[in-house]
Structure 1
Amino acid sequence: MPERARAARRRFPPRGGHDAGVAVTVLDRELYSMGEAAHLLSVKPARLRAWVDGYTRGQTHYEPVIRSERTGSELLTWGEFVEAGYLREYRVHGVSLQKMRVVVQRLRERFGVPYPLAHARPYVFQRDIVLEVQEELGLDSGLVMVRRVRDGQLVLAQKAQDFFGKVEFAAGAGTADDDEAVRLRPDSSAPQVVLDPLRGLGSPVVRNTRTANLYELWSAGESIAEIAEAYELPNGDVEAAVRYESRLRDQEAVA
């Protein structure tokens, strides 16, 4: 197994729903508060909470899209965060996501994993299963993950492809828990910036340095070259960190 995949399968403290002593993957690692995750995803906190843990409107209770049941926890695991990133790709296009709950449930059952959207298999290895689920549920065209083209090949829908392009998966074959999302690149204009659950507690980093630290030095008046020299980073990495943090701090929630 590649080193990256081995690292992703280290033991982490189990969260609710896992028996103590059971080996869990990096997807189960609690990393973000609801507010932190909403900020990183540029999603309104109330909307993210509804996706992750459900919500109540009047006398009606709406079950979560991501969690199998409501827990009340304000902490997101890496797997929940990655799945929320997938949902965001659809929400920014104005698509209602409540119907995605049953899709996630069905994929969870078919793949036998708690975070099906945070594995490579629906995007790469087992698109046929995704198509079966879509057809069984009569999923609206705006929510589909895969589609069949004229030659019969199954390809990712554009929004699923956009998300897939941001994620790095462990190099497994999808036959066990060996194809988890291990890294996410949140900004295509700053590809040096990554979110990695094994580095910086999941905070945005370039190499092993938090982008927030680099931005704070820059905003205090230090030059890109000075910061790069102090941290032994290429100037381009520091520029990417500053660009990313500036955009993150200026932007409003778009979903």
Structure 2
Amino acid sequence: MNILEVKNLSFSYNKAKIIDDVNFKVSKGELFGIIGPNGSGKSTLLKLLSNIIKGEDGDIFLLRKELSQYRRKDLARVLAVLPQSTEIGFEFSVKEIVEMGRHPYLENWQGISQADKKVIDKALKLTNTISLADKLINSISGGERQRVLLARALVQEAELLLLDEPTSALDINYQLEIFELLSRLTREGTTIVVVLHDLNLASQYCDRLLLLNQGKVNTIGIPDEVITLNNIKDVYGCDVEVDNSGRRPYVKLVTSNE
């Protein structure tokens, strides 16, 4: 079953084409990665999928319904977004920030129920942020905020998660921890679309990859089909080695000895 389907999607800014005739599908329970160099349109594509901005051409279908046809509250029950920025302008506690993810399920003036609290506590534990629950959100590090915002996305219990560089501020230990969590979530039926700069994380954990270049789809497929010497050279313009001796391809930069 396709959770997400994108057809002939295009978007321009100041007459410059940022996304150009993009087509792809994402199946239920898939961890789908979007990769490409800076300026390739990755974050713009995620904003289009999040309904933050509107495409000028093409269609986006979520659960076989046009994205534009969802009411805001209904959309928040099936789609959760983790943005790249972790900046928050108000001093809420970590627990209050995570609780906000339950708002799509609350009626007017309804408080957090015991069932909601169980969902919240589970998300705090999964993201290893339960020890931060009573701290103010802006008193913790950027990496900690990133994990808190992931917890907020998880408590929406959405069928589709859209994540923009979810591990960019995390050390290697937490990067692996978060991706192990994402893999577990997909095995349990959640569908995840993630924008990544790290080609090796993308290769190791994603079921399929979409390689963007100047707003266009260069390649879509399993990591072995996308992470190739020719693709990386063509799109990124740098010399690399691609090691295919392991389970997934591994990219190594070629450095000069001079």
TM-score, normalised by the number of residues in structure 1: 0.30
Q: Which has the higher helix share?
A: 1
TM-score normalised over the length of structure 2? 0.30
Structure number with higher strand proportion: 2
Q: Which has the higher contact order (CA 8 A, sep 6+)?
A: 2
